[in-house]
Structure 1
Amino acid sequence: MKKPGYLRNWEGLARTDPLWSVCTCPDRKNGKWDREEFFETGRKEWERIVRYLSEQHIDLPRSGAALDFGCGVGRLSRAMAGTFSIVTGLDASAGMIHLARKYHAGEKSPVRFVYHDRPGLSLFGDHTFDFILALLVLQHIPVEEGLHYLGELGRVLKPGGILLLQVPVADCRRRTVFQRIRSVLRIRQRLALAGIGKGYGMDMHLYSPDAVEAVLSGRDTGVIHRVHTNHTEPGYAGDFRVISPEQAGDYLSVMMVGRKEKEGG
């Protein structure tokens, strides 16, 4: 079965510039990320997120099983290993998973990396994970498919478990007519998918927060915290912070924390 265009696009990015495709600092493009510096951004981001959630009186499970949905090369999976008993990094790009396993080979950590490009999360049973992370991933998945995945994330979350996700909700860019047309056509990306050139790009899909909450509610998972963040700012490299809508650059991003109802309560 032929892969969707966005998945083929990510396989191209895994071959040409995998680290930059995750942390898009302009001065790190074309293979200029130092690998250890790159993974350090994940450690710092995870520390900031845990600290922020603690300040909001949201406690993460300090053991158990965690899922890093859309893990890429494992930037955050590695950081999460100090918090959970086992971490599963899942990605639909075979190239990214290959690199994740390569970069973590020989390390003594509770992280495993799984390739899965089929619709849904059929390889996991109900109530598998105590914690699920989905940052910088749903934005690259077409909305209808992304909402389906959200329902699946709710399904595999254990009762009482926490789901932390982020989605872009508004395009704040001021573009000329030519820029808008070029964005729609995505000329370089289409040529790359046809085997001409290396112009792999990253589509951004905007989600309705209400639609996200409705899908999660259908899986007995209520949103207990919602805040605007800088995740979709140009050059984001793990420097997580809360922002106001007025401070947004290209896109306005929302981070949500969901908690699944405990059985019998």
Structure 2
Amino acid sequence: MATINSNKAWNAYGKKDPYYGVLTHEEFKDENLNDENLQKFFDTGKKYVNHLFEIIEKHIVKDFKPSNILDFGCGTGRLSIPLAQRGKHVVGMDISPDMLEEGRKNADKFGVNNIEFVVSDDSMSALGEQKFDFINSYIVLQHMNLDRGMQIIKRMLQILEPGGVGALQVAYLNKKPREKRFAAFFRYRVPLVNNILNVMAGAPFNRPLMQMNSYDMNEVMGLMQENGVRSSQFLFEKHGEFWSVMMVFQKPV
């Protein structure tokens, strides 16, 4: 559905409310950030990584110890930092230079020195010829235009080494009532509608639109099969009014 440029929105969140941009809970807004809330924020990342590795080691690879990890859409380092404790080297990619700078500060704060934070584009050109034996992307792909998201999924599958493990999450079903979908249609396409609806909801006038898009799973699974994936664990989730799936898989050797 969406036609707006998601880069503009995420660069805006990088400058204002970067933690809220990652997890949309009130305690993570700039005005509410304190040591306790920041610890909560990073605890959620540690919990996610621990759970993910339990799934990988139970269903995909026993005693999984990746060497080169890609965390796509890394934001402020919520997942990159605990991932760095699981592998030798992590590349955290994000479209927002401000979020990446915040990620570097957080890595320093936690004493983590094996993360490289780099700016992303649609072809992920900053990676050069790098390959990875673990690629992770969580609550990221639904926030970009679908054609761009599909291009990035394809690229991640291509740079996953044979024998490597992927964990990619996508939304696939919009369960919003019809009237909310109608409002979203105009919010994406008509100037000032997003601003007006922000004010009506008590949010700042210029808060950027955090778009949510659902993928055609036939297309996603077709890409996976084209790039050598033969099986996957599907973990179903709900994110607000969107249903999503985490696909955890290994690329055959």
TM-score category, normalised to shorter length: 0.7 to 0.9
Please report the TM-score for the alignment, with normalisation by the length of structure 2.
0.84
Instruction: Name which of 129, 133, 137 aligns with 2:132.
Output: 129
> 1:32 corresponds to which residue?
32
Question: 1:114-138: CA deviations, max 9, x gaps?
Answer: 1123x21233345610000011111
Instruction: Name which of 205, 208, 213 aligns with 1:200.
Output: 208
CA RMSD of aligned residues (A): 2.4
Q: CA offset at residue 11 of structure 1?
A: 1.0
Instruction: Name which of 73, 76, 80 aligns with 2:76.
Output: 73
Aligned length: 236
Question: 1:47-70: CA deviations, max 9, x gaps?
Answer: 122223333354473131000001
Instruction: Name which of 149, 158, 163 aligns with 1:160.
Output: 163
Question: Partner of 1:40: helix, strand, or coil?
Answer: helix
Query: Are residues 102 and 135 of structure 1, via their aligned partners in 2, closer, same or farther at CA, if it must alter by over 3 Å?
Result: same
Query: Are residues 17 and 159 of structure 1, via their aligned partners in 2, closer, same or farther at CA, if it must alter by over 3 Å?
Result: same
Contact map agreement 2:84 2:112 (CA 8 A) in 1? no
Query: Are residues 188 and 154 of structure 1, via their aligned partners in 2, closer, same or farther at CA, if it must alter by over 3 Å?
Result: same
Which has the larger helix fraction? 2
Contact map agreement 2:56 2:64 (CA 8 A) in 1? no
How far, CA to CA, are the matches of 1:147 and 1:167 in structure 2?
Answer: 10
- Structure 2 counterparts to residues 108-119 of structure 1, below 5 A: 108-117=112-121, 119=122
Q: CA offset at residue 28 of structure 1?
A: 3.9
> 2:147 corresponds to which residue?
144
> 2:250 corresponds to which residue?
259
Q: CA offset at residue 145 of structure 1?
A: 1.1
How far, CA to CA, are the matches of 1:259 and 1:189 in structure 2?
Answer: 43
Contact map agreement 1:60 1:162 (CA 8 A) in 2? no
Which consecutive residues of structure 2, in runs of 5 or more, have no partner in the other structure?
188-192, 199-203
Please report the TM-score for the alignment, with normalisation by the length of structure 1.
0.80
> 1:243 corresponds to which residue?
none
Question: Partner of 1:104: helix, strand, or coil?
Answer: helix
Find runs of 4+ consecutive structure 1 residues off by over 6 angstroms: none
Which consecutive residues of structure 1, in runs of 5 or more, have no partner in the other structure?
234-249
Question: Partner of 1:133: helix, strand, or coil?
Answer: strand
Question: Partner of 1:68: helix, strand, or coil?
Answer: strand
Instruction: Name which of 207, 214, 220 aligns with 2:222.
Output: 214
Match for 1:15: what amino acid?
K
Q: Does 1:99 pair with 2:102?
A: yes
Match for 1:111: what amino acid?
I
Contact map agreement 1:220 1:260 (CA 8 A) in 2? yes
> 1:236 corresponds to which residue?
none
How far, CA to CA, are the matches of 2:250 and 2:196 in structure 1?
Answer: 40
